[in-house]
Amino acid sequence: SACGSSKSGGSGAEGDTIVVGYSQLGAESGWRTANTEDIKKHLTAENGFDLTFVDAQQKQENQIKALRDFISQDVDIVAFSPVVETGWDDVLQELKDAEIPVILVDRSVDTTVEDPYVAHIGSDMAAEGKMAGEWVQENFPNAKIFELQGTMGSGPQVDREAAFDAIMGDNVIGKATGNFTRAEGKTAMEAALQAYPDMDLVFSHNDDMGLGAIEAIEAAGKKPGTDIAIVTVDGVKDGLQALVDKKFNYVVECNPIFGEQLGELMKKVVAGEEVEKNTVVEDKTFDQTITQEEVDARPY
Ligand code: GYE
């Protein structure tokens, strides 16, 4: 908006509208779609926000470009969900020099910049990997595990894998990335079924790749959930449906619904109030005792 592009920023007479630059990493999964919808639902004009939302299509260079555009627009606040952990040093320093506060959403960064963001909001990815690992240890202690990794170098891939492998690593016979998408999950699984014919459990870093794996397993004439057990993270509706259908065995939730909390955080930051450095979103777990009614009631 014209008012948002002036150097005076958001605390002038028209005052209360907060100009937000949001860089979303992509639209790679059901989780991401639900997250985007919830953020847009809450960062509305009615709620006092002037939102510019840019989708980077899973490309870091697109995110860096969007962040630089937000700097030249002199937005009041920037939020972004970083596709991978490293490579942000320059742009984070530029944001800092421009005195634009940054809220990190969902994923984490690994940077040499001091105090690179005011707050982070998202799930504890290591806790998710641990919950998955503990369930496998309890239920399939001798499993031969293939691990379908998310986008390499992303916070959820790094942390879920490390925490899961700390418990079940000795049982992991192979790994490959499916970049958090259904299509790449399927391709990776097709290759893995050839390379590791004795695998009997898949740990997939998200539902979408697990859903792709179901297709590959069925095409190979095997039964997902029975011949090859599947454990995933997210808990989107399609994933929970696969649990009811007994094709998934266990799902650790990653909750994408925190747009309202994000909006409240932004208001406090722009008002100069102290905020929690880390807001951890709460996650549950689901097994095959979930009912069709519960799945039908799932909003995303
Ligand atoms: O699990 C996956 C998405 O960063 C928590 O990204 C998020 C992950 C989520 O692509 O489905």
pLDDT tens-digit map of 75-97: 999 999 999 999 999 999 999 99
Given a cut of 70, is residue 265 above it in pLDDT?
yes
Lowest-confidence region among 7-21, 62-76, 119-133: 7-21
If you take atom 8 of ligand 1, which residue's CA is the nearest one? 156
Residue bearing tokens 């650790």: 252
What average pLDDT score do residues 44-62 get? 98
Q: Tell me if residue 73 falls in helix, strand or coil.
A: coil
Ligand 1: nearest atom to the Cα of 125: 5
ipTM comes to 0.98
Quick one: what percent of the chain has pLDDT higher than 70?
95
Q: Tell me if residue 145 falls in helix, strand or coil.
A: strand
Ligand 1 centroid from CA 10, angstroms: 32
Can you give the pTM of this predicted structure?
0.94
Quick one: what percent of the chain has pLDDT higher than 90?
95
Ligand 1: nearest atom to the Cα of 236: 11
Give residue 15's pLDDT band: very low, low, confident or very high (50, 70, 90).
low
pLDDT at 11: 45
147-185 pLDDT, tens digit per residue, is 999 999 999 999 999 999 999 999 999 999 999 999 999
Ligand 1 pocket test, candidate residues 234, 253, 282, most atoms within 8 A of CB:
234
Q: Taken in order 28, 189, 146, 133, is the CA torsion positive or negative?
A: positive
pLDDT at 16: 85
Give residue 268's pLDDT band: very low, low, confident or very high (50, 70, 90).
very high
Given a cut of 60, is residue 7 above it in pLDDT?
no
Ligand 1 environment, Cβ below 6 A: 28-29, 31-32, 106-107, 156, 180, 206, 208, 233-234, 254
Tell me the CB-side half-sphere exposure of residue 213, using CA atoms within 13 A.
37
Which 8-state DSSP code applies to residue 282?
P
Ligand 1 centroid from CA 94, angstroms: 27
What average pLDDT score do residues 188-195 get? 98
d(CA 179, CA 59): 12
Ligand 1 centroid from CA 206, angstroms: 7
Ligand 1 centroid from CA 150, angstroms: 8
Closest-CA residue to 123 (of 148, 156, 158): 156
